C-alpha cells in the first residue's frame, strides 16, 4: 500500500513539473494584461520616435556620402581623391553603427549575438567551458537585467561626457575663428567646426538611443515578488526542473529499495532462522551496493529522458570523480565489508571490550548493536568504523559482564561501602551509610576494584595478647576466643548469617602474640561489614578482661650516649655556629 502511495506521489510531482514547462507564467489577471497593453503602446511610441531620429541621421549621412562620391568623380589630382576617399571611409564608419542601432531597435535583437558562429576547433578548455557554460549562463540570466541596466547607465554617462567635451571643443574653435583674419585658415577652422558639429550630432544620436534603451529597460521594472517568480520560472523551465526531478528520482528509488529491504528483513523466515549465514550476509552487502547503484541509475535515466546532456555529463564526471577518490578509501571499505560478512576481527555473539567495558556483539551491520546485560541502558549502536580496531573473542556463559548488579553491596579500594542503586554505561551510583548517594564514572568505579559482598564475605580481625601468656597461647587462648566470639555474635542477632568462624595463632610480633579471627558471613548482612569488625574486637577485649589476659603496650626504644660523646657533639655544634657567624 505504501509503495502505491510513493508511486502516486512521483506521478504528481512529474505532472507539476510538466505544467511548469508548458505554462511558465501562471495566474495573470485581466488587470495585469490591460496594464501591460498600455505599457506596450507607450513603448511602441518611443520606439517610433527613436527610429525616426536615427533614420534622419542615416539619410543625412548617406546624402553626404553621395555628395563626396560625386566630388570624387570630378576631381583629377591624386591628393584630392585620396582625401575625399578618407572622408568617405570616415562617413561610412559613422554610418555603420547607426544602421546597426536602427536594425537592433526595429528587430529587438542583439545582432552581435545573432550573427555569432560556433567554433569548430577542438579545445579542452573550450569544451569544458561549453559543458559548464550553459549552467553559468542560466545563473547569469537570473541577474542579467540589473547588470544590463548598469551597463546602459555607464554608456549614457560616457556619451554625455563625450558631448560635453565636443561642446568645449566647438567653443574653442569658435573663439579661435573669431580671432583669425586669414581667410584660408578661417575656412579650415570652419570646416573643422562642421566636422565636430557632425560628431556632436552622431554622439547625440547614440545618446538618444542609449537613453531610450535605458528608459525601456527601466519601464520593465518589476516588484520583488514578480522578479522572484520570473527567477523561479526560468530555473524550473529547463535545467532546474531536470535537476530537481533527477534528485527526486535518486532519493525516491533509494528509500523505496530501503523500505523493501526493511520489510523483507522483518518478514523473511530465512532472515529469522539463518540470519548469521555467510550467504545471507553477502546478499545484504550486495543489496546495499545495488541500492546505491539503482538510485544513481534512476537519476541518470531521468536526465537522459529529459535530454539534458549538460547535467548528464556533469553527473558522469561527478560519479567518475567519486570512483577515483574511492581508490584511497578502498582498504577502509574492504575492512567494513569483511566486518559485515562476519569475517573480520569482530564477530557476532562474541565478547568485545569498548570504553573499558565488556559488550556482547548482537548484530553486525552498518550500525552494529552491542549489549551488556548487567547495565541499565546497556545497549549501544556503533558504526562499523568504530569496530575496525577492536578484537572480539568467544565467551563462556558463566563469564561476568560486570562485577556487581543493582542492589548489591560493594566495598571499594577507597574504603567506601554502599549499595548499588543504579549502574549504566556512563555512571554507577552507590547509596552509602546514612542514605546519601555517591556517584562514580563507570571506568573510575572499575578502577576502584569493587569487592562484592552480596553473596558471601569474610571479616578478618587481628588481636594480640602479652608475652606473659605464652604458656597458654597455643591451646587455651584460641579455643576460648572462638567460643566467646561465636556467643557474642549470636547474642547480637547474627546466628543465622554466620557461615564459618575460626581463630588461629597468626604470629609472634615484636611486642605481642597475635591471633587471626576469621568470620565468614552471608551477604544478607553485607551492610554490617565495618560493624562486625568492631563487634569482634569488642568481644575479644571482653574475653581478655574475663580471663585476665593482658594486652601489651607499645614499646619505645631509648638510645643512650656517654658523657664524652655528648661533649664532643656539643663542641662540634659550637664550632659550626662560630664559623657560620
- Would you list the DSSP string of 268-327? -HHHHHSTT-HHHHHHHHHHHHHHHHHHHHHHHHHHHHHT-HHHHHHHHHHHHHHHHHHH
Report pLDDT for 348. 86
* SS3 annotation, 94-136: HHHHHHHHHHHHHHCCCHHHHCCCCCCCCCHHHHHHHHHHHHH
Which pLDDT belongs to residue 205? 86
Q: What value does the CA radius of gyration of the chain take, rounded to a whole number of Å?
A: 52
Residues contacting 455, CB < 8 A, separation 6+:
523
**Among all chains, which residue has been given the C-alpha cell 587462648?**
477
- Which pLDDT value is given to residue 387? 85
Which residue, chain included where needed, has cell 655528648? 566
Instruction: State how far the Cα of 144 lies from the Cα of 167, in Å rounded to an integer.
Output: 35
Q: pLDDT in tens for each of the 581 residues of the chain?
A: 444 444 444 444 444 444 434 443 333 334 444 444 445 455 556 677 777 888 888 888 888 888 888 888 887 777 787 888 888 888 888 888 888 887 777 766 666 666 665 555 556 676 666 666 666 676 666 667 777 888 888 988 998 998 888 888 888 888 888 877 777 777 877 888 888 888 888 888 888 888 888 887 777 666 656 666 666 666 566 677 888 888 999 999 999 988 887 777 666 665 555 555 666 777 777 887 888 889 999 999 988 888 877 788 888 888 888 878 777 766 777 777 777 777 888 888 899 999 889 999 988 877 889 999 999 999 999 888 888 888 999 998 889 999 999 999 999 999 899 999 999 999 999 999 888 999 999 999 999 999 999 989 999 999 899 988 888 889 899 999 999 999 999 999 998 899 999 999 999 888 889 999 999 999 999 999 999 999 999 999 999 999 999 988 753 333 334 445 545 565 565 555 455 44
pTM of the model: 0.49
pLDDT score of 29: 35
**Sheet strand arrangement including 498-508:** 456-465, 513-522, 498-508
**pLDDT on residue 64:** 87
Residue 277: its pLDDT value, please? 66
- Concatenated DSSP letters for 317-339? HHHHHHHHHHHHHHHHHHHHHHH
What confidence score (pLDDT) does residue 9 get?
A: 45
Amino acid at each position: 500500500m505504501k509503495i502505491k502511495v510513493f508511486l502516486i506521489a512521483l506521478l504528481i510531482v512529474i505532472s507539476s513539473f510538466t505544467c511548469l514547462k508548458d505554462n511558465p507564467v501562471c495566474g495573470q489577471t485581466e488587470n495585469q494584461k490591460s496594464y501591460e497593453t498600455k505599457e506596450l503602446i507607450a513603448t511602441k511610441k518611443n520606439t517610433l520616435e527613436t527610429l525616426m531620429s536615427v533614420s534622419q541621421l542615416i539619410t543625412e549621412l548617406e546624402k553626404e556620402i553621395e555628395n563626396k562620391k560625386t566630388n570624387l568623380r570630378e576631381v583629377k589630382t591624386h591628393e584630392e581623391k585620396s582625401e575625399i576617399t578618407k572622408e568617405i571611409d570616415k562617413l561610412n564608419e559613422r554610418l555603420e553603427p547607426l544602421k546597426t542601432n536602427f536594425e537592433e531597435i526595429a528587430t529587438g535583437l542583439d545582432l552581435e549575438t545573432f550573427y555569432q558562429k560556433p567554433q569548430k576547433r577542438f579545445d579542452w578548455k573550450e569544451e569544458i567551458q561549453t559543458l559548464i557554460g550553459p549552467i553559468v549562463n542560466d545563473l547569469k540570466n537570473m541577474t542579467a537585467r540589473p547588470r544590463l541596466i548598469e551597463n546602459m547607465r555607464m554608456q549614457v554617462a560616457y556619451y554625455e561626457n563625450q558631448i560635453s567635451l565636443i561642446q568645449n571643443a566647438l567653443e574653442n574653435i569658435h573663439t579661435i575663428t573669431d580671432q583669425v583674419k586669414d581667410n584660408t585658415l578661417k575656412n579650415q577652422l570652419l570646416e573643422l567646426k562642421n566636422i565636430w558639429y557632425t560628431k556632436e550630432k552622431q554622439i547625440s544620436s547614440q545618446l538618444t538611443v542609449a537613453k531610450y534603451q535605458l528608459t525601456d529597460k527601466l519601464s520593465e521594472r518589476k516588484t520583488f515578488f514578480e522578479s522572484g517568480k520570473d527567477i523561479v520560472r526560468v530555473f524550473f523551465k529547463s535545467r532546474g526542473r531536470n535537476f530537481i526531478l533527477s534528485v527526486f528520482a535518486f532519493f525516491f528509488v533509494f528509500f523505496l529499495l530501503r523500505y523493501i529491504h526493511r520489510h523483507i528483513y522483518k518478514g523473511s523466515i530465512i532472515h529469522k532462522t539463518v540470519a548469521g549465514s555467510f550467504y545471507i550476509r553477502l546478499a545484504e552487502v550486495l543489496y546495499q551496493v545495488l541500492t546505491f547503484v539503482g538510485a544513481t541509475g534512476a537519476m541518470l535515466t531521468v536526465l537522459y529522458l529529459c535530454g539534458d546532456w549538460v547535467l548528464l555529463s556533469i553527473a558522469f564526471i561527478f560519479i567518475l570523480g567519486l570512483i577515483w577518490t574511492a581508490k584511497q578509501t578502498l582498504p577502509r571499505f574492504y575492512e567494513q565489508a569483511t566486518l559485515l560478512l562476519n569475517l573480520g576481527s569482530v564477530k557476532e555473539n562474541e565478547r568485545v571490550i569498548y570504553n573499558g567495558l565488556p559488550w556482547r556483539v548482537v548484530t553486525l551491520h552498518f550500525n552494529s548493536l552491542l549489549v551488556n546485560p548487567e547495565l541499565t541502558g546497556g545497549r549501544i549502536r556503533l558504526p562499523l568504523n568504530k569496530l575496525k580496531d577492536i578484537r572480539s573473542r568467544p565467551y563462556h556463559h558463566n563469564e561476568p559482564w560486570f562485577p556487581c548488579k543493582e542492589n548489591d553491596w560493594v566495598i571499594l579500594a577507597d574504603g567506601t561501602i554502599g549499595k548499588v542503586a543504579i549502574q549504566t554505561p556512563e555512571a554507577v551510583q552507590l547509596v552509602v551509610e546514612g542514605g546519601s548517594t555517591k556517584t562514580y564514572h563507570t571506568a573510575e568505579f572499575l578502577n576502584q576494584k569493587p569487592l562484592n559482598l552480596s553473596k558471601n564475605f569474610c571479616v578478618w580481625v587481628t588481636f594480640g595478647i602479652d608475652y606473659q601468656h605464652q604458656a597458654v597461647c597455643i591451646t587455651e587462648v584460641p579455643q576460648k576466643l572462638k567460643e566467646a566470639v561465636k556467643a557474642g555474635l549470636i547474642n547480637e542477632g547474627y546466628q543465622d548469617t554466620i557461615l564459618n568462624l575460626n581463630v588461629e595463632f597468626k604470629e609472634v610480633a615484636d611486642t605481642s602474640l597475635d591471633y587471626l579471627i576469621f568470620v565468614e558471613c552471608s551477604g544478607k548482612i553485607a551492610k554490617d561489614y565495618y560493624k562486625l569488625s568492631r563487634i569482634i574486637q569488642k568481644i575479644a577485649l571482653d574475653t581478655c578482661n574475663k580471663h585476665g589476659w593482658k594486652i601489651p603496650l607499645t614499646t619505645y626504644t631509648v638510645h643512650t650516649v656517654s658523657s664524652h660523646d655528648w661533649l664532643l657533639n656539643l663542641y662540634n655544634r659550637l664550632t659550626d655556629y662560630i664559623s657560620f657567624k
